[in-house]
């Protein structure tokens, strides 16, 4: 549901969003469908630098927004993946935080911001943005626990 809500919001706001998907899911007939929906296959094998690969995508497109979920999965994880931060830093592009708040029934985006180079300060800024947003499955969204532990 989050994917479709996000795609609908992107369509309404005319933001051409692309999303990363593991290449193992890029097979017939799904591959062409993922392409049409904005999918970008990513090879996550050991030894490959995914940050460099994804940062390079910004050189391949005139205008691109890449949707990345920091959890990196649909299930609960204690800590967020950090790749999204380093991708933005390496590609010298802003991070655009977006959300679906199921309690308030609101979809939206924050203002784009560039990484400062101070990872902890930037992550605090991101956590501050999300701390009052309610996920569809709050028990699977680890921000609240992380935020309480780092305040």
72-84 tens-digit pLDDT:
556 777 777 788 8
Under the banding of pLDDT at 50, 70 and 90, the label for residue 150 is low
Tell me which residue range forms the domain holding 140: 2-150
How many domains would you assign to the chain?
1
Rg (CA), the chain: 16
The CA distance from 146 to 25, in Å, is 30
Q: Are 115 and 122 in contact (CB under 8 A)?
A: yes
């Amino acid at each position: 549901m989050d994917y479709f809500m996000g795609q609908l919001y992107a369509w309404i706001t005319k933001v051409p969003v692309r999303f990363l998907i593991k290449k193992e899911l890029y097979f017939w007939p799904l591959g062409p469908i993922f392409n049409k929906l904005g999918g970008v296959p990513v090879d996550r094998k050991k030894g490959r630098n995914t940050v460099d690969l994804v940062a390079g995508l910004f050189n391949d497109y005139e205008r691109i927004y890449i949707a990345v979920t920091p959890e990196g999965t649909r299930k609960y994880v204690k800590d967020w993946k950090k790749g999204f931060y380093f991708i933005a830093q390496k590609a010298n592009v802003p991070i655009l935080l977006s959300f679906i708040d199921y309690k308030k029934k609101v979809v939206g985006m924050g203002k784009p911001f560039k990484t400062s180079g101070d990872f902890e300060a930037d992550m605090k800024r991101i956590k501050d943005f999300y701390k009052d947003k309610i996920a569809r499955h709050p028990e699977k969204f680890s921000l609240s626990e992380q935020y309480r532990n780092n305040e």
